[in-house]
Structure 1
C-alpha cells in the first residue's frame, strides 16, 4: 500500500531520474534528453503541448520498465532455471526478492512499492493529459489520446502484475498532489477486490486498443496488438484462477461459468492479434541453420531473436510488447550479459543458469518426442598429462557432447553443455571462442589438436553443469551492463500458445490451435505433434505446457504459469509422496532438495505473496493474505 512515507520515497527516486528516466526510449525519443523534468515545473508551466505529454509518458515508461525488464529472475521459482544471487542495486525493484523455488512469498516488499510508484507515474500522465484535451487544437487530440492509451496500457500491465502476485490490492487512478505531498488518502485505502481491478484493467486495455496505432511507432512503444494481447492474457489468467481456484485469496470465489467466459474472451482477443495485424514469427518461424556439436559460428534463428538487433527492429513483429534500453554511456543499459554470462563474457557474474531438468525437456528432431533421459555421473577419464580434456564415453551421459545430437534447435540456441563454444570478450574486445567444460575454468587446453589453442570458459559460479546462451550477445563492444536489448513482455509465439490453451479449455484440441503449436515447434525444427499428443484435452494441454517451457524459458513466465495452474505440487513433488525434488548437476553432485516433507503452508505461501508488513503498520485498513496471518 502506498503511504505518505513510501510515496515520498517513490517521488525521490523518480526525481533523481528526472532527466534520464523521462527519456527512456532512445530509439524513439532521443531528443527528449534535453527536456526539463515534468516534476520540476508547475502544471500551468508544463502541460501545454504534445511534447510535454510525450516527455511525461517517457517517465511512465521508465518507471514501468524497471519493474518488468528482469522478469527472468522469476524463472528461478520454477524447475528449469537456477538463480543463485540477486545482483541488482538496492534502488532496483527486484532487489531483495527471493527467486528460489520455495520460500519466496515474503520477499517482495520492495517490488510492491516500486509497482505502485509505476502506477503513480502512469496516473500522472493519464490525469494531466486528459485535462489538456479540451484546450488543445483539434489536430492534437488524436495524438494526445494515443499518449493516454499508452499510459493506460502501462497502468494495466502494472495492475495485472499486482493482482497476479497479491490478489486484492489497493486501486486508484488519481495522483497525490506533488507526488509525495498531501497524500494521506493513500495511507487509509483498503484493498480493492480482484474482480473490480480486473474490470478496470480491461477498461484500460480496451481504451488503449481503440486509441493506439496498429503498428508501434518505435521499439518499445505501445500498439493495438499489444493492448489486445495483454487483454487476452488477463482474461486467460482470470479463466485459470476461476477454473483451478485460488484458496489462498480468501475473498475470491471461483466460478466455472466465469472461467468459460474468460477463456472464450481470451481466445477471441488472441485470434484477432494473430489474424488482423499481419504479425509473423521472427524470420517467418524458420528454424534456420545449426552448427555441428562443439561449434557456434552458425546458430539457429531462435538465438538471433534474442539479440539486440532483432529486438529493436520494428519490422520484427514477433515482439508485440517490449521495453527497450540504452547502450554504453546512456545509463539505461540492460544487464542480461551480467546475469546470464560468465567471467569470460565481460567478467559477468552468471547468476542465472539452466538446471539439469531443462536439458531433458528438449525433444528429438527425428522422433518429435522426448529422448532417453540423460545420465548424471562423474566424468571418466578426467584429463591427461597434456591437459587434453576428454569427455566420458558412456552413451547418453550428460557430460558426453554426443548425447545432445539431433535435439530441438532451440536447445543449442538456449543453453550450453560440455565442449559447446561461446564468444569471449574483455575490455569490450573479442577474446575468441572458448569451450565450456564444467569444472574446468579458464584453463588453456587443446581440442583435437597438438597445439593448446583454447582457453575454457571461466564459469566459476556454476552449480548445474550448464550455461545459458540465450540473451548473451555474440559480438564484442558493449559491457556487461550496457546492453540495448528490448526486453519482451509479450511475444507472438506466446500468443500462439495462449490461444491454444484458451481454446483447449473451452472446446478441447482445435485444428487451428494445433497448427499454431506446430508453428512454434517448427522453429526448433521439430516435426508436427503426433496424433496422440492432440487426442484429448489433457494430452494437448501437456503439449502446450511443453512448448511454453522450451519456447519461453528464462522470460519470466514459468513461475506465473505454475501458480495459475495450481501446479507447484505437480512440478516439485511429482510422486505425490512429499519427498519433493532432489536437483543435481551433470556430475550428480551439488544436490539441492526442494519441498521435501513440505507442509501445506509451505505451498500456500508460494501461491500468493505477503502484503508488506511495513505498509500494514502504516495503514490500519490493509488486510493480510490468509497464509501470512
Structure 2
C-alpha cells in the first residue's frame, strides 16, 4: 500500500494569505523545522525574531514539495518507472504520470502545484513584512532566503508547466480569481531577479545552528542553471560567469569518494550547496523516500518495513553503469537478500536508505544543489558556446574519474555532440534519483527522443500479456503538464496547456 505523506492544506493559489509559522529547533547541527501555530501574518510578524521563524516556515514548506517532486521528475523520466508488480488498479495516478497519460485531474499534478504555491505564499508574506527587521544586513539575508526559495519554486513550475501565475505579494481571493498566467519569458525574468537579489544578499558561509540555510553560492549555482536553461547566447555567457565563480572561487568542493556525499554521518559536507534536511527519531521530520522506493514484500531486509516500489530503476539505467562505476552501489541495487539468504531479483533505489526504527522516518537529507552539478553545468555552458574546450573536458573527467572510471580522451568527446552525449550520460548517473534527469532532458532538447526510446525498449511498456500498460510515443505537448483542473474551475478564463 502506498504511503504518501498528507498535509492539512485547504488553500489554492487563491489563498495566498494563509501562513504557517515554524520555529527553528537546533539539534546537533541540523536545520530542524517544527510547526508551532497558525497565526495571521499581519498579527505575528513584529520583529526580526518573528521574521526568522517565518523564514523557517518557508524551508519547512520544501517537505511538501519534495514529497511529490520525484513523481513529476524521476518517475516521468527514463531513469525509473512505476513497478510492473503493482496491479492495474493500484496507484493509478502514479502509473498515469509514468506513462504520460495523465489528465488535469491527476492528484500528483494538483498536489505538487499546491505545494509550490504554498512555499511562494510563505515567501511573499516574509518579503511583504521585511521592514520590521531593523538591521539592514539581516533583513537582506532573510529576504534573500525567501526570494531564493520563491525563485526555486518558479524555476520548477516554469519547467513543468510553462507560463504560470506570478504571485509576488499576498493577494486576496477576489484578486487571485482575476489573475492570468504569465508567459514563460516573464516567469524567467521574475525568478532571475529573485536569484540575483539572493546572490547579492545571502552570506558566503553558514555554520553551527544555521547549517542548512542558504548561501550566495547556492544562489549563484541556481542562477547559472536558470540562465543556461533559458538558453540565449547572452544567458549562457552569464551562466559561465556565475558557475565559474562557484567552481573556482567558492569554499565548496567535491569529495574524493562518491559514497561519502550521501553518508548520513557526513551530511551537509563540502559538496552540498543546498539540501532539504530530514531527521529520524519519530519527531515528525523523517524522510519517507526509503520506504516509497524499497521493494514490495521486502519486510525489514532492505529498510525498516515493507517498501511501496513506486519508483523502480529502469533496466536501461542499471545497464548504463560501466563496470567499476562506484556510483551504482551507492544509488541502486539489482537484487536484495531475504529469508534464508535467498536472492531476490528486484531493482531498487538505495541512495536514501539508512537505519531508522519507524516506517517513513529516515534521516537522509535530499540534495537539491551539489558542487558537481555546478561543475557539469559549467562544462555544458562552455560546450554550448565554444565546443568542448580543455576546461570543459577537464570538468567532465574530474566527475567521471571520481566514479572510478578512466578519463575520456579528446577523440572520444572532441566534437560538440559527442561531448553533449557524454555529459548527458554523466549527469544521468551522477544525479540518479535526485530529481534532475527530467529537467536535464528538457533543457537539452532531448526529452522526446530519449523518452520514446525508453518506451520502446523497456519490457514493462511492451508486455503482450499486459497490453493495458503499453505506452505510445509521446508528443511535444506532453513535455508540459496540464494546469490542475481545480484552478480552471475557479477561473474558467485560464488557458489550459495545449493538448489537455
Coarse TM-score class (shorter-chain normalised): 0.7 to 0.9
Q: Please give the secondary structure, in 1, of the residue aligned with 2:177.
A: helix
Partner residue in 1 for 2:128: 127
Cα distance in 1 for partners of 2:279, 2:467 equals: 37
Matched, 1:538 2:417: yes
Shift of 1:36: 5.5
Matched, 1:277 2:250: yes
The answer on whether the counterparts of 2:74 and 2:433 sit within 8 Å (CA) in structure 1 is: yes
Partner residue in 1 for 2:488: 616
The answer on whether the counterparts of 1:337 and 1:348 sit within 8 Å (CA) in structure 2 is: no
Equivalent position to 2:326, from 405, 409, 413: 409
The answer on whether the counterparts of 1:335 and 1:482 sit within 8 Å (CA) in structure 2 is: yes
Shift of 1:511: 1.1
Partner residue in 1 for 2:382: 503
1:443-492 CA-to-partner distances (Å, cap 9, x unmatched) read 31xxxxxxxxxx346x6xx7xx423332212xx34433112222111111
1:158-216 CA-to-partner distances (Å, cap 9, x unmatched) read 1111111111111121113xxxxx42100110111221221111111111111111113
Q: Which has the larger radius of gyration?
A: 1
Matched, 1:320 2:192: no
1:482-509 CA-to-partner distances (Å, cap 9, x unmatched) read 1222211111111111111111011100
The answer on whether the counterparts of 1:333 and 1:481 sit within 8 Å (CA) in structure 2 is: yes
Identify, as 1 or 2, the structure richer in helix.
2
The answer on whether the counterparts of 2:25 and 2:33 sit within 8 Å (CA) in structure 1 is: no
- TM value normalised by structure 1: 0.69
Query: Unaligned stretches of 5+ in structure 1?
Result: 88-94, 177-181, 240-258, 287-300, 365-406, 419-435, 445-454
Partner residue in 2 for 1:172: 167
Partner residue in 2 for 1:151: 146
Query: Unaligned stretches of 5+ in structure 2?
Result: 1-9, 87-92
Shift of 1:225: 0.5
Partner residue in 2 for 1:265: 238
Matched, 1:354 2:313: yes
Q: How many residues end up aligned between the 2 structures?
A: 470
Cα distance in 1 for partners of 2:48, 2:339 equals: 58
Equivalent position to 1:523, from 391, 402, 406: 402
Equivalent position to 2:199, from 203, 209, 217: 209
Distance of aligned partners of 1:68 and 1:489 in 2 relative to their CA distance in 1, 3 Å threshold: same
Shift of 1:278: 2.6
Shift of 1:567: 2.0
The answer on whether the counterparts of 2:221 and 2:374 sit within 8 Å (CA) in structure 1 is: yes
Partner residue in 1 for 2:458: 583
The answer on whether the counterparts of 2:17 and 2:125 sit within 8 Å (CA) in structure 1 is: no
Matched, 1:309 2:265: yes
The answer on whether the counterparts of 1:443 and 1:456 sit within 8 Å (CA) in structure 2 is: yes
The answer on whether the counterparts of 1:583 and 1:592 sit within 8 Å (CA) in structure 2 is: no
Q: How does 1:157-556 map to 2 (within 5 A)?
A: 157-176=152-171, 182-217=172-207, 218-239=210-231, 259-282=232-255, 286=256, 301-311=257-267, 313=268, 316-342=269-295, 343=299, 344=301, 345-349=303-307, 350-364=309-323, 407-418=324-335, 436=336, 442-444=338-340, 455-456=341-342, 465-473=346-354, 476-556=355-435
Shift of 1:6: 2.7
- TM value normalised by structure 2: 0.85
- Root mean square deviation, CA, Å: 3.0
Partner residue in 1 for 2:6: none
Partner residue in 2 for 1:627: 499
Cα distance in 2 for partners of 1:512, 1:105 equals: 44
The answer on whether the counterparts of 1:160 and 1:201 sit within 8 Å (CA) in structure 2 is: yes
